[in-house]
Amino acid sequence: MIGRGVGRGVVQALAAAWLAGFAPDVARAHGRSTSLSSFEIEIGPPVRAEIRVRSPMTDLQRVIPEIASLAPTRAGPGPEALGWIDRYLQEHVVLRSGGEPCVVVGPATPAVTSDPTHVGRAWRVLCERTGALSIESTAFYEAVPGHLHLARVRFAGSPPVEQVLVQSRPRAPIEASGAATPAAGSDLLDYARLGVEHIFTGADHVCFVLALLLVGGTLGEVAAVVTGFTAAHSVTLALGVLGVVRPGSATVQALIGLSIVIVALENFFETAGASTRRLVRGSLVLLLAGAIGGAMVGRVSVPALALVGIGVFSLCYFALLARSARPMRLRWIVAFVFGLVHGLGFASVLADAGLEPGRLAHALLGFNVGVELGQLAIVAALWPAYRLLLASGPRARPVAVQIGSAAVLAAGLFWFLTRAMGGAG
């Protein structure tokens, strides 16, 4: 009875979410909240610098009321909107000398960004006061406390140094002498911290990991799932940062939401009877058919071919699960396949940073270590409590899995629909 009731709820949730997704007042998509900056500094006196910032347009709309209602366009924001954006960024991303912010000189200009969903702006500053230098970013924290800012600092004639700024540490001191010989260990630790924060401040990645773990299994099976996910995102993270593959940000973020939906549906598939399994397969076909139709008419940002490929994989995988005596042993497959998609989402954090080839190894290694540590921390915190719940009785497992998966399914649907349609047009 539980399985049948939940199965009908799955269909109703999919249909309602799909109709709501096409409503005129659909919520805007909000993917990973990360911005980047570069500081090109000339030691004077006086000290001068050029600051370039790349920020997600959706985040800018969250913190600047005057542009909140702007619809996304391929041409980007107009002159009036850019004026508001420049004022906000110049107030929140600053170079300080002797504790005082350096003064903006001249008008702001466009800065190149490879992601059309981001806005790039550049301006020059003059430091009127002498003293110790520091960089600071307080942008977006009022709306997104978990926002990450990756800053790249280069003094004239010296190699660059990267700094990770977060709400708890929005300012970092910099020295021209230290920039010439940056410590490799500190770079590694900075990127490891970025990876950890990326997992814990990324609700979609946390939901995906939790959905994978909801069906339980032995410790070895859980380790295989986490390892498969880590191995996959490591591959596409490297390919994305190196520029070998560069899919659109809206597409990647939408597919991350879809991966959560499919894993949640898989949880229902594994804990219910034959009738609910048919409903799960039918619900997935309905969702994908609607998304493919939307892609063909330009209402969905994900390519129709990608949706077809994911649909074929998912249905074949569900058929394989139905014939397996130990379906948890196969879960590393879906963790690996969708880990490839999540890796491209991780890559977006680093792709625009402009790292030199010699520094990519530190960034990739440190970031991957941080992501793995974050995942292990989630597993370590929740696994004992979940195993205790499962031990309370034979009926506890399907109820716990289905209740948890219903919440994950709703979140995944929201992310998929809003991101897929928010990036179209």
Residue 12 pLDDT > 50: no
- Sorted by sequence, the CB contacts under 8 Å of residue 190 that are 6+ apart come out as 162, 163, 164, 366
420: pLDDT strictly greater than 90: no
pLDDT digits (tens, 9 = 90+) for 13-61: 444 344 333 333 333 333 457 788 989 999 878 899 999 999 888 889 9
Average pLDDT value for the chain: 78
Beta pairing, strands 171-174 & 118-127: unpaired
Q: Which whole number is the average pLDDT over 371-387? A: 78
Report DSSP letters for 25-80, one per residue: TPPPP----EEEEEEEEE-SSSEEEEEEEEEEHHHHHHH-GGGTTPPP-TT---HH
Query: Can you say whether residue 147 is alpha, beta or left, with left for phi > 0 and alpha for psi between -120 and 50 degrees?
Result: beta
Is residue 6's pLDDT more than 70?
A: no
Lowest mean pLDDT among 102-111, 125-134, 377-386: 377-386
Q: Residues 75-92: pLDDT tens digits?
A: 678 888 999 999 999 999
Predicted pLDDT at 404: 83
Could you tell me if 88 and 63 are in contact, meaning their C-beta atoms sit under 8 angstroms apart?
yes
Please answer whether residues 208 and 338 qualify as being in contact, where contact means their C-beta atoms are separated by less than 8 angstroms: yes
Cβ count within 10 A of residue 155: 23
Q: Is the CA virtual torsion 332, 335, 341, 343 positive or negative?
A: negative
Note the pLDDT of residue 360.
Answer: 67
Q: Express as a percent the part of the chain with pLDDT over 70.
A: 80
Distance of CA 315 to the CA centre of its chain: 26
Distance between first and last Cα of the chain: 43
* Omega before 45 within 30 of 0, i.e. cis: yes
pLDDT at 342: 82
Which residues is 56 bridged to in the sheet? 118
pLDDT digits over 140-197, tens only? 998 888 787 888 888 887 777 777 788 888 898 887 654 434 444 446 777 787 777 7
Q: Is the pLDDT of residue 373 over 80?
A: yes
Choice between 359 and 280, residue whose per-residue pLDDT is larger = 280
| pTM > 0.85 | no
Confidence of residue 11 (pLDDT cuts 50, 70, 90): very low
pLDDT reported for residue 184: 42
- What pLDDT, on the 0 to 100 scale, is given for residue 136? 94
The answer on pLDDT for 107 being more than 90 is yes
**What pLDDT sits at residue 2?**
44
**Is 325 or 186 the better-scoring residue by pLDDT?**
325
Per-residue pLDDT tens over the stretch 290-307? 999 998 988 888 889 999
* pLDDT tier at 123, thresholds 50, 70, 90: very high
Edge-to-edge strand order for the sheet containing 100-101? 100-101, 93-97, 133-137, 171-174
Which residues, listed in sequence order, are joined to residue 164 by a DSSP beta bridge?
150
Q: What is the pLDDT of residues 207-239, one digit of tens each?
A: 888 888 777 667 777 777 878 888 888 888 788
Where does the pLDDT of residue 93 fall: very low under 50, low under 70, confident under 90, or very high at 90 and above?
very high
Residue 15's pLDDT is: 40
Q: With pLDDT > 90 as the criterion, what percentage of the chain qualifies?
A: 18
- Residue 23: predicted pLDDT: 34
pLDDT for 90: 95
Measured distance CA(328)–CA(314) in Å, rounded: 15
- The mean pLDDT value for 240-245 works out to 74
Task: Kindly list the distances between the CA atom of residue 358 and the CA atoms of 14, 159, 242, 270, 361, in Å, as whole numbers in the listed order.
Answer: 47, 11, 12, 46, 7
